[in-house]
Chains A and B, each alone.
Chain A
């Protein structure tokens, strides 16, 4: 190995992967929307324009969720995926309405790099095994929406775009999903989604302690301090929507703040 490379790597010491900052586009009928606790959706722009702007700001990847796919039994937003893929040079995770291997294949063929499953995986967990076997774990993402139980004892899994509580333990489900072959978890706090009250740090800690696969913190981010807390709790990536869509901060602002706190980020 060349000495320059060896020296550079030694300088980096025991460095880890950079922490990813991930804008999330909730998609309804080909438009970006955003609500609070999964409802009260309002328009937040064109997906292609948003995707281009976020890549230019330094986004590490994008998540696109077809939020209306499950409730209305609609198919996947393959056309939107195709348009975004044509311009986007960073990874794209797509979820919403993924019920079968063929649904996933259609999204991958349209330009997704990873496919996220939520409700369908919760109802039929073997979907995760089949996705991982067919496309690989690195392509199989569990979208896990978790709500604090009324009695405060842990979190329960929420399905159908936040509309249905299942009473199932969210942490146990995360562990099972990882053992079935999920390669990543996008972990959304139902309680914090769209509220800007900060991520549910205890939830992130509980799930990242239970699995070895990367966990993307989601739901409640208002500023870089919240992201710093999520990373310290074990998150590999931090997701944000409202604050970016509203132009309050850019991905670059968030990354500069994280870098100042000595969190490794790609600048």
Chain B
């Protein structure tokens, strides 16, 4: 069984993430220890909650440094939902708070537009870029009010549309950051988790 360190963010839907990892044959273990996260072969950064609170926890535990290093080196890291947003420079959700800054972009709220339901809660169509090796076309489950609106330079990934196009996922080496919840995206999400685990093994 492949051990996967799941960063214990305190308020995330950790049980769902761990249950999904078990179903794809991994052995999840919760940790808040920066040295464990730095040394682990595979790490998952789940994310539910606010940007500012999430960053405060990562800073307080020294995880911010360990996660930034992992992400920059393209080592096996799966970021989910807020986890993707935390990779960015900043977010409209928590003005004045710096993110991990791995991606030099700002996260913004979905537009305030008639007929556009916010938060986006539900299944939306994900379309991968041509050079994506992990992502497949299909429906994924989203639960977000904020989003990144364009793929940053140097990253592959996938887009979806809610009002306008937004980043559904980012991919670079063994780094996979999903705005959607792969752990809640049924058979499609299950398959994606399986490919991420397999990719890590191949690296």
Contact = CB atoms under 8 A, between A and B. Distances in A.
Interface string B89-120: 00000000000000000000000000011111
A65 B162 CA distance: 30
A6 to B, nearest CB: 8
A2 interface: yes
Interface residues of B, number: 52
Nearest to B24: A89
B53 to A, nearest CB: 9
Given A18-B124, A89-B20, A136-B48, A183 B119 contact: yes
A214 interface: yes
Contact of A15 (B15, B48, B125, B132): B125
A263 to B, nearest CB: 13
B174 to A, nearest CB: 20
A108 interface: yes
B144 interface: yes
B120 A113 contact: no
Nearest to A17: B122
Interface in A47-104: 55, 60-61, 82, 85-86, 88-92
Interface of B: 11, 13-16, 19-20, 22-23, 48-50, 116-125, 127-132, 137, 139, 141-145, 150-151, 156, 158-162, 165, 181, 183-187, 189-190
- Return the 10 tightest CB-CB contacts between A and B, nearest first: A2-B129, A2-B130, A111-B15, A138-B143, A5-B127, A266-B139, A17-B122, A8-B127, A266-B123, A91-B184
Interface of A: 1-6, 8-9, 12, 15-20, 55, 60-61, 82, 85-86, 88-92, 108-114, 133-139, 183-184, 212-214, 236-237, 266
25 contacts: A1-B129, A1-B159, A4-B127, A5-B130, A5-B158, A8-B125, A9-B160, A17-B162, A18-B122, A18-B125, A55-B186, A88-B19, A89-B187, A89-B189, A90-B141, A90-B185, A108-B11, A109-B14, A111-B13, A111-B15, A112-B15, A113-B16, A184-B121, A212-B116, A213-B117
